[in-house]
Amino acid sequence: MTYWIVGSLVLLLLIMLIKAPAFVEWKRSKETQQAIELFRIRREVLEAKFFELAAAQGKPRGLRWTECDWKDPVFFARDRTTNLLTAFSSVEIHFEAVEGGDMEDIAAVGDIRDASAVFHYQDGVWGTGGKALFNMSPEIAVEKLTAQYEPIKI
């Protein structure tokens, strides 16, 4: 009878070891889907935070951020080193020259700049540092940064 119990426990342990990677992948997929849904729910607040932080950085030099027009799509990817879920959101950024600055007489100041706004998901919360990847759509950003990011299929 003892051999039967030990054998059953060993068999159960083997099954758990075989199924563990599948369970971990299932759990990660579920958490990813929940994070993406949370991004969609909180997108407006995240966009406002992005604008606040990006505008405060003073980049590009001599320009003041005036407006962000948010577009679809949003591309999601996972950072290969940190495992953080990252969102790249399409945005058109409007600037004006800072009075008395070097850019005041430049005609191109009023040109709308396409960019990807970057957001990260960590510990159940989406956030941003106000980083914009200029002249890159979200799709191109993920493609160009493929060494760092693994695209998420939705």
Q: Tell whether 16 is covered by a domain.
A: no
Q: Tell whether 54 is covered by a domain.
A: yes
- Does position 137 have pLDDT exceeding 90, yes or no? yes
Total structural domains in the chain? Answer: 1
Looking at residue 124, what is its pLDDT? Answer: 94
Span 52-78, pLDDT tens digits: 999 999 788 878 889 999 998 899 999
Looking at residue 23, what is its pLDDT? Answer: 62
- For 27, the token pair is 């759990």
- Does position 3 have pLDDT exceeding 80, yes or no? no
Map 83-139 to HEC letters: CCEEEEEEEEEEEEECCCCCCCCCHHHHCCEEEEEEEEEECCEEECCCCEEECCCHH
Span 80-135, pLDDT tens digits: 999 899 999 999 999 888 777 666 666 666 778 899 999 999 999 999 999 999 99
Q: Tell whether 70 is covered by a domain.
A: yes
- Does position 43 have pLDDT exceeding 80, yes or no? yes
Looking at residue 22, what is its pLDDT? Answer: 66
Q: Tell whether 102 is covered by a domain.
A: yes
Domain of 89, in residue numbers: 42-151
Q: Tell whether 11 is covered by a domain.
A: no
Looking at residue 58, what is its pLDDT? Answer: 79
Q: What's the pTM value of the predicted model, to 2 decimals?
A: 0.80
Measured CA to CA in angstroms, residue 62 lies from 59, 71, 134 at distances of 8, 26, 16
- Does position 10 have pLDDT exceeding 90, yes or no? no
Q: Tell whether 74 is covered by a domain.
A: yes
- The structure tokens 């998420």 sit at 152
